[in-house]
Amino acid sequence: MSLLTLDSVCKSFGSTRIINDVSLDIEAGEKHAIIGPNGAGKSTLFHLISGRYNVSSGTIGFQGKAIHNLPPYEIARRGIARSFQVTNIFPRMSVFENIRCALLWSEGYRYSFWKLLGRQKLLNDKAFDILEQIGLSDKAQLPSGELAYAQQRALELGVAVASGAELIMLDEPVAGMSNSEAENAVALIRRITEGKTLIMVEHDMNIVFDIADRISVLVYGEIIATDTPENIRGNARVQEAYLGEVPSDA
Amino acid sequence: MKKQLPVWLGFALALIVLPQIFDSVLGISILNQMTIWIIFALSYNMLLGQGGMLSFGHAVYFGLGGFMSVHALNLIADEIIVFSITLIPLVGGAVGLIAAVFIGSFSTRKSGTVFAMISLGIGELIVASSLIFADFFGGEAGVTGDRTYGPPFFGIEFLQDAEVYYLGAFWLFVATLFMYLFTQTPAGRMANAVRDNPERAEFIGYSTRRVRFISFCAAGLFAGVAGGLFAINYEFITEENLNALTSGRVLLMAYIGGLGFFIGPIVGAVILTLMNSLLSNYSEMWMLYLGIMFLLTVLFLPRGFAGFIMMHQTAWQNHRLGMLILPYLITAIPLSLFLAGFVGLIELSHKGDDILPFFGLSLGADSMLSWGVLLTLAGTGALGVKLSRPRLNAAWAAANTVAKDADGDAQ
Amino acid sequence: MSLNRSLYHSQAKKNRLASQHSLRKIASATIGAVACAFSLTAVNAQEPIRLGFMDPLSGTFASVGTSGLNVLEFAADYFYNSKGGILGGRMIEIVPLDNKQSPTETQLQFRRAVSEELRIIFQGNSSAVANTLNQTIAKHNRRNAGQEVLQINYAAVDPILTNEECSFWHFRFDAHAIMKLDVLTDFMAMNDELSSVYIIGQDYSFGQVVAENTIRLLGEKRPDIEIVGNEFHPIGQVKDFTPYVTKIASSGADAVVTGNFGADMVSLARSIIDSGLDVPIYTFYAAYDGITATLGADGKDRIRLIHTDRANPLASDERREFYRAFKAKHPDSDITQSRLANALMMVVQAMEQAQSTDPYDIAVQLEDMRFTSIAGDELWMRGEDHQLFQPLYISKQTDEGIEFDADNSGFGLFTEYEVSTDETITDHSCRMRRPRR
Amino acid sequence: MAEVFVFATLNGLVTGLLLFMLASGLTLIFSMMGVLNFAHASFYMLGAYFAYTLSTYIGFWGGLLIAPLIVGCIGAAIERYGLRRVHQSGHVAELVFTFGLAFLIEEAVQFFWGRDTKNYQSPELFDFALFSLFGQEFSAYRGFMIAIACLIFAGLYFILTRSRVGIIIQASISHPQTVANLGHNVPLIFMCVFGVGTALAGVAGVIAGPVLTTFPGMATVLGSIVFVVVVIGGLGSLPGALIASLLVGLLQSYAIAADVGMPELLNLFGVSFDSSHPLDDLWTLNLPQIAPVLPYLLLVLVLIFKPTGLMGNREQ
């Protein structure tokens, strides 16, 4: 059985249909990339899966249970974590606090107001481990709003993966990075999604073909193809609809 | 926590020693006000500073807690219940909590303007009902009680304000400690996260509404505790203690003190209490000064007085604070000249036929010379500040740039 | 002597001191400062008698408080300080205590008063404040024997202060609301053409006392007068009184009775005038502090007040002199409450009789004191409930026959009806607990 | 009964339109700048006081012309030297700034004009009854107030829908960033809009001062109600502001006129309580008594069930 199942998902804003009858199955452990021209609805699709938007029709199932139209926190608790295209962290809190907050729910702390965080050795160690992984341990006490851009992106990733979610969704994780920064980021993504399921939206085709096991192509709100990287490269419809518009820096 | 032990010990010591220094009736009275306002302002900061919820009706929880506490005092006096006076703040806290649970259940769904407006509306509704339900709220005269009837606490009957002070100081210490500890818990930290970025908080598994609700309830609880202390201290409470003026005042305290810092509201409460009780004895215009000070703070010290102190952290860490002392002093002299002149002008324009004693001078409103002296004073001061600014800015830059270099070297 | 006195003032009263023309000029200021140091040591032997004056001196209600303070300070200077002081040459010093008309601030200012050893506190505005102060003083005096404080209430009219809640430490120099209403309804009852009355008031204790007792008293005196409306509105929150006036108009009332004060009074009167409703307004607080000026010609013959001081024409030259002197010093201010002068003079007389400034001794002397005011009125402080009895007057706003106007507007109060001291005496329900000495 | 109804409607209309004059400026400012101006009613008060002072020299009409200009200039200056600076510290800081401003303006008014009520009179030109109905007069001045308010609404509507400036402003309401990208001087637009918004409040003050009494508390009495109106109407919606203004005005006016209360209501259901009941105050509650709080009740209900307000589509 698939880990994530989208069945005839539609989303309209007013009379404009952004996502049209999308069906998709993601297997556990799969690294899946979604590509498509600007405005194709990739981010909207992410928002539908992660609960930021409600679907207009269709269903989304995760581990066999329907999750569409649940609030984001319910979906997050079931094991879907995501990052954002525009850095979306807690700017006035320290880097360490960002990661620790991202860990809290999965570590079972819920809304407790009787436990002192300073005393939770296991939790703090875990947060430091993640900081180590994303290479920010020396900036642990800095307010995260003061980090450099690439570091903020790294933190963005860290916050997304901290909860140890089964499914990780990354929205353009390397957008706006220099080549060397992007390389580091890809290595980081590989490392932290080891053994997890990954869905990724990305414009950089090198990275997409490098990481992904399967690729879906979204054009005007419809998936026109889902296949392995090799087959997608050879798909005529994809060529026609999309590849001509690949950004030049790809 | 261990690192902060000296701070807490110092705090406790200060609470014990202060009434020995300021031991007049007035001194004790001001200290008592401070204990109440500090708790209240800290509880407000849980909402705005830590939770990002701007409330225009926080006095509701303070006032309701206070009203119930006075009623509790009366029940004790009538021997209907047996309860120690020392625990009255718990009554206030419980009432504050209950009210917050009820109101928070629908008001915390959104933050921002919607929350602010609901808090304003609820505040007005409660104030209005306080005048309608005269049996419970006592109309505009309020309700009175007497704190001396309960079972004595180790022989203390709380006849004097000084005895009440120590009770208040105890509760202040406890409440401050708990409010501080709250910031160190998952719920407290998530409140910060929701303040910073409610959207992201949802995607890491937290319902922002629930997080806000918990902060809101905690803030209501401690506001109620402050209300309970108010009841013990003044033995009465009126509608004005839950109206918009009181809500505005606690907002002022928290903001002037500095929202981003735990200690901020404490600083703000101390400053405003002093201004309110002392300044008003010297000038009818004290509210004008308060308003000006508030606006200047918002304009130039967006992080409040605590923020201003914290600005010097970098310089301090790198032992460059000394560089700033002289420039500060140089600016302070013309600044105080300007302030003296400015205040003099305001006071003089309101003297009518009376004479304004001004540093040994007697100024009269109908003497051009008087106006001239003050205008010159203010003018020279302003000019002096303007001239000394570049030097201060340079010194500031130096103290901090050097600090950054040292930082870079260390790496 | 005169120089010394004024200098002493500049020291003691901090920034609120009496003006002395000789001192206005900066040139003399330095000399003044030096002389000040001398006069201080000289005065120490003759310590001043310090009296607290607690009323709103900042904020919205401040105009009422400051005008009271002007009168009290002036009276102290005019009657005593300029004549060599009291109790063998001691000056009277008035210490202002700004309670911002808030019960909470009243408590804070009371503690300040205790701190500064002020043992006699004059207070008037707001019954809520008076009640708070009454209870605070009662508690304080019980808990601090030997440091008692005395409350001289010159304007708060809530009846309970000399009835259920009466206290040995409280003396009222104003007539309470029911006494005033008794006279007001007598006056209304005399008007045979009056057949219906509309009552409107602020929704708080005084407003309710007015409504309740107007209905009761008119019912006793003129059962034929119909009460066509009894309306309460929230205090200080009404933007526009026109909707209320519409109701008054449609009720067909011949007269309106209200206990409103401040902006609520002005707005109500304005709305009544604007809607062309030609009915008299019987009221308590519709003069001075800008109100007379604002209503001006529109209020002529329409506003009728019940009050304790005879307005124009003044009865005695002594009072005329006092008014003139006050006006010379405070051209923009009026003597809004000459009760304050009565209260001060009676307190001073009590001090002189007891040769003491102790509140207990003063209180004992004040009880059952009879006193002739500068207006020539006979006053009696009843010992049983500490309520002062004095003649009561009903006056109307007009510009005819006005010797002393209000707000320099040309309009003032002209007395139409008066009731002698004896006729105002009413029963009381006070069961006073007297401290043992 | 009919006369009460007619006059209640008229009174509600006057109050509602007065509220609208304030609410329109507030809405304009909010739409453009995202700032809920707490001090808006204070500018209304300033308008009344300036007009009072001017009217003693150059008469009412001079005041009507000049006072709003002065108020607008003060508003623009405050935007330029105050709000713009605070803007960097975020929305809470802005809200708090205007909150402090309201406080300061009230103190400043007391400082310059004193605490007494001011004898600010409507012009003699209007000292007649516009019409008389059931023996009650409707003063010409109130008619004048209605006319001015309608004029303002028409003017605003025309400017917003027909002029170039209006198109820019409309665009800024829906797409503030885009307008800046199109090369318009947004700070200048902000300053002007704030100036115009406060000047509108000034106009309201000038014409309301004579009937609603010019005193230092006049801003407080109106201040939060205007706020309530704007929020109920939907933040940023001018039609919403108009509807909410009239709604609140009429609601209060009818509530005062209606002599019904809990006793009548309970009697309908055949329930009665004796007066010694502890909740006596609740059972004897009547509508006129709670009229002034009805807007707040409405506010809370609207916010709970439709947080965007009646006509709004933006959530702040």
A84, A93, A109 member nearest B196 (Cβ): A93
pLDDT band at residue B97 using 50, 70 and 90 as cut-offs: very high
pLDDT digits (tens, 9 = 90+) for B105-146: 989 988 887 888 889 889 988 988 887 787 888 877 889 988
CB atoms under 10 Å from CB of C98, counted, come to: 27
Determine the pLDDT at residue C43. Answer: 43
pLDDT digits (tens, 9 = 90+) for C391-415: 988 888 888 888 888 888 888 888 8
Determine the pLDDT at residue B354. Answer: 66
pLDDT band at residue B190 using 50, 70 and 90 as cut-offs: very high
Considering only alpha carbons, which residue of chain B is nearest residue D108?
B288
Beta-carbon contacts of residue D302 (< 8 Å; ≥ 6 apart): D231, D232, D309, D310
Closest by Cα among D105, D103, D99, D107 to D83: D99
Determine the pLDDT at residue D315. Answer: 46
CA C263/CA A72 separation, integer angstroms: 53
Determine the pLDDT at residue D117. Answer: 79
Please give the backbone phi and psi of residue B143, each rounded to the nearest 5 degrees, phi first. Answer: -120, 145
Tell me the domains of chain A and their CATH numbers.
Answer: 4-245 (3.40.50.300)
Determine the pLDDT at residue D45. Answer: 93
Interior angle at CA D277, CA D276 and CA D282, nearest 5: 120
Q: Is residue A240 pLDDT above 80, yes or no?
A: no
Q: Do chains D and C touch (3 or more CB pairs under 8 A)?
A: yes
Beta-carbon contacts of residue C153 (< 8 Å; ≥ 6 apart): C123, C124, C130, C134, C161, C170, C171, C172, C173, C174
Q: Is residue D139 pLDDT above 60, yes or no?
A: yes
Please give the backbone phi and psi of residue B319, each rounded to the nearest 5 degrees, phi first. Answer: 55, 35
pLDDT band at residue D15 using 50, 70 and 90 as cut-offs: confident
What are the structure tokens assigned to C154, written together?
């010159």
> Do C76 and C171 share a domain, yes or no?
yes
What secondary structure, in 3-state letters, does chain B show?
Answer: CCCCHHHHHHHHHHHHHHHHHCCCHHHHHHHHHHHHHHHHHHHHHHHHHHHCCCCCCCHHHHHHHHHHHHHHHHHHHCCCCCCCHHHHHHHHHHHHHHHHHHHHHHHCCCCHHHHHHHHHHHHHHHHHHHHHCHHHHCHHHCEECCCCCCCCECCECCCCHHHHHHHHHHHHHHHHHHHHHHHCCHHHHHHHHHHHCHHHHHHCCCCHHHHHHHHHHHHHHHHHHHHHHHHHHHCEECHHHHCHHHHHHHHHHHHHHCCCCCCHHHHHHHHHHHHHHHHHHHCCCHHHHHHHHHHHHHHHCCCHHHHHHHCCHHHHHCCCCHHHHHHHHHHHHHHHHHHHHHHHHHHHCCCCCCEEEECCEEEECCCHHHHHHHHHHHHHHHHHHHHHHHHHHHHHHHHHHHHHHHHHHHC
B139, B353, B357 member nearest C10 (Cβ): B357
Residues of chain A contacting B199 with CB distance shorter than 8 Å: 52, 88
Residue D290 forms part of a structural domain: no
Domain total of chain D: 1
C14, C66, C107 member nearest B282 (Cβ): C14
Mean of pLDDT values over A7-11? 93
Residues of chain B contacting A90 with CB distance shorter than 8 Å: 192-193, 196-197, 200-201
Q: Please tell me what DSSP assigns to residue D292.
A: G
Best mutation target among B275, B298, B301 (most D Cβ atoms within 10 Å) is: B298
CA B112/CA B133 separation, integer angstroms: 31
CA distances (Å), origin B270, targets B36, B44, B257, B366: 10, 15, 9, 38
Q: Which of B51-60, C31-40, C212-221, C296-305 has the lowest mean pLDDT?
A: C31-40
D14, D117, D212 member nearest C291 (Cβ): D117
pLDDT band at residue D67 using 50, 70 and 90 as cut-offs: very high
> Do C417 and C271 share a domain, yes or no?
yes
Mean of pLDDT values over B82-93? 91
CATH classification at residue C164: 3.40.50.2300
- Angle of helix A121-133 relative to helix A179-192, nearest 10 degrees, comes to 140
**D30 close contact with B: CB closer than 8 A:** no
Under 8 Å CB pairs connecting chains C and D tally to 114
What are the structure tokens assigned to B119, written together?
């808090």
> Do C25 and C105 share a domain, yes or no?
no
Task: Mark out the alpha helices in C76-117 (DSSP H runs).
Answer: 103-115
Number of DSSP helices (H) and strands (E) in chain D, helices first: 14, 2
Considering only alpha carbons, which residue of chain B is nearest residue C11?
B357
Determine the pLDDT at residue B223. Answer: 97
Residue indicated by tokens 């324009």: B349
**B287 close contact with D: CB closer than 8 A:** yes
Helix, strand or coil for residue C201? strand
* D 115-174 near B (Cβ less than 8 A): none
Q: Which of B301-305, B365-369, D49-53, D83-87 has the highest mean pLDDT?
A: D49-53
CA B269/CA C305 separation, integer angstroms: 45
Evaluate whether C183 touches C306 at the Cβ level (below 8 Å).
yes
Best mutation target among D55, D117, D253 (most C Cβ atoms within 10 Å) is: D117
Residue C430 forms part of a structural domain: no
Domain total of chain C: 3
pLDDT higher for C66 or C34? C66
Binary contact (B199, A90; C-beta < 8 A) = no
Residue D172 forms part of a structural domain: yes
Residue indicated by tokens 């989303």: A11
Q: Which of B172-186, C101-115, C287-301, D242-256 has the highest mean pLDDT?
A: B172-186
Q: Is residue C64 pLDDT above 70, yes or no?
A: yes
Q: Is residue B41 pLDDT above 80, yes or no?
A: yes
pLDDT band at residue A32 using 50, 70 and 90 as cut-offs: very high
What are the structure tokens assigned to B9, written together?
């010990």
**B133 close contact with D: CB closer than 8 A:** yes
pLDDT band at residue A102 using 50, 70 and 90 as cut-offs: very high
B29, B159, B364 member nearest C111 (Cβ): B29
Mean of pLDDT values over A48-56? 93
CA C342/CA C351 separation, integer angstroms: 14
Listed by start position, the domains of chain B span 5-297, 313-410
Q: Distance (Å) from the C-alpha of residue C378 to the closest C-alpha of chain D?
A: 33
Q: Is residue C40 pLDDT above 60, yes or no?
A: no
> Strand C412-419 vs strand C392-398: parallel, antiparallel, or unpaired?
antiparallel
> Strand B143-144 vs strand B236-237: parallel, antiparallel, or unpaired?
antiparallel
What are the structure tokens assigned to D316, written together?
């702040």
Q: Is residue C18 pLDDT above 60, yes or no?
A: no
Rg (CA), chain D: 21
Q: Is residue C34 pLDDT above 80, yes or no?
A: no
Helix, strand or coil for residue D234? coil
**A81 close contact with B: CB closer than 8 A:** yes
Residue C232 forms part of a structural domain: yes
Residues of chain B contacting C136 with CB distance shorter than 8 Å: 236
Binary contact (D281, B134; C-beta < 8 A) = yes
Side-chain half-sphere exposure of C220, counting CA atoms within 13 A: 9
Residue C312 forms part of a structural domain: no
**List of chains touching A (3+ CB pairs within 8 A):** B
pLDDT band at residue C14 using 50, 70 and 90 as cut-offs: very low
Residue indicated by tokens 């709604």: D247
CB atoms under 10 Å from CB of C78, counted, come to: 16
Binary contact (A113, B182; C-beta < 8 A) = yes
Interior angle at CA B133, CA B129 and CA B138, nearest 5: 110
Under 8 Å CB pairs connecting chains B and C tally to 132
Residues of chain B contacting C26 with CB distance shorter than 8 Å: 361-363, 367, 369-370, 373
CA B282 to chain centre: 22
Considering only alpha carbons, which residue of chain B is nearest residue A80?
B203
Domain that holds residue C21: 1-45
Determine the pLDDT at residue C2. Answer: 39
pLDDT higher for C247 or C9? C247
Q: Is residue D175 pLDDT above 80, yes or no?
A: no
pLDDT higher for B350 or B100? B100
Residues of chain C contacting B363 with CB distance shorter than 8 Å: 26, 29
Q: Is residue C37 pLDDT above 60, yes or no?
A: no
Considering only alpha carbons, which residue of chain A is nearest residue B215?
A113
Counting residues of chain B whose pLDDT is more than 90, the rounded percentage is 42
Binary contact (C239, D15; C-beta < 8 A) = yes
Beta-carbon contacts of residue A24 (< 8 Å; ≥ 6 apart): A4, A5, A6, A216, A223, A226
Interior angle at CA C162, CA C147 and CA C367, nearest 5: 60
Evaluate whether D18 touches D145 at the Cβ level (below 8 Å).
yes
pLDDT band at residue D1 using 50, 70 and 90 as cut-offs: low
CA B114 to chain centre: 24
Binary contact (B133, D92; C-beta < 8 A) = no
Total-model pTM: 0.89
Q: Is residue B77 pLDDT above 70, yes or no?
A: yes
Binary contact (C107, B26; C-beta < 8 A) = no
**C221 close contact with B: CB closer than 8 A:** no
Q: What ipTM goes with this model?
A: 0.87
- Which residues does residue C344 pair with via DSSP β-bridges, in sequence order? none
Binary contact (C58, B373; C-beta < 8 A) = no
> Do C211 and C284 share a domain, yes or no?
yes
Domain that holds residue D78: 2-219
Binary contact (D135, C249; C-beta < 8 A) = yes
Helix, strand or coil for residue C404? coil
Would you call D145 exposed, middle or buried from its count of C-beta atoms within 10 A (0-12, 13-18, 19+)? buried
pLDDT digits (tens, 9 = 90+) for D56-66: 888 888 889 99
Residues of chain C contacting D3 with CB distance shorter than 8 Å: 250
Residue C358 forms part of a structural domain: yes
Determine the pLDDT at residue B352. Answer: 62
Determine the pLDDT at residue D271. Answer: 65
Residues of chain C contacting B24 with CB distance shorter than 8 Å: 115
Instruction: Cis check for the bond before C313: say yes or no (omega within 30 of 0).
Output: yes
**D95 close contact with C: CB closer than 8 A:** no
Beta-carbon contacts of residue B114 (< 8 Å; ≥ 6 apart): D303, D307, D315, D316
Average model confidence (pLDDT) across chain C: 82
> Do C296 and C341 share a domain, yes or no?
no
Q: Which of B312-316, B376-380, D171-175, D307-311 has the highest mean pLDDT?
A: B376-380
- Angle of helix B25-51 relative to helix C103-115, nearest 10 degrees, comes to 140
Residue D281 forms part of a structural domain: no
* D 87-116 near B (Cβ less than 8 A): 88-89, 91-93, 95-97, 99-101, 103-104, 107-108, 110-111
pLDDT band at residue D284 using 50, 70 and 90 as cut-offs: low
CATH class for domain B5-297? mainly alpha
Beta-carbon contacts of residue B354 (< 8 Å; ≥ 6 apart): B365, C15, C16, C17, C18, C19
Q: Do chains C and B touch (3 or more CB pairs under 8 A)?
A: yes
Helix, strand or coil for residue C303? strand
pLDDT higher for A56 or D188? A56
CA B378/CA C201 separation, integer angstroms: 49
**Dmax over Cα atoms in chain B, in whole Å?**
72
Residue D285 forms part of a structural domain: no
Evaluate whether B68 touches B75 at the Cβ level (below 8 Å).
no
Determine the pLDDT at residue C20. Answer: 35
pLDDT higher for C14 or D52? D52
CA D62/CA D270 separation, integer angstroms: 60
**D290 close contact with B: CB closer than 8 A:** yes
pLDDT band at residue D272 using 50, 70 and 90 as cut-offs: low
> Do C200 and C254 share a domain, yes or no?
yes
Mean of pLDDT values over A158-173? 90
Determine the pLDDT at residue C26. Answer: 36
Residue C103 forms part of a structural domain: yes
Considering only alpha carbons, which residue of chain D is nearest residue C289?
D116
**B248 close contact with C: CB closer than 8 A:** no
B76-102 in b/e form (b: 16+ CB < 10 A) is beeeeeebebbebbbbbbbbbbbbbee
> Do C234 and C251 share a domain, yes or no?
yes
- Angle of helix B322-348 relative to helix B368-410, nearest 10 degrees, comes to 160
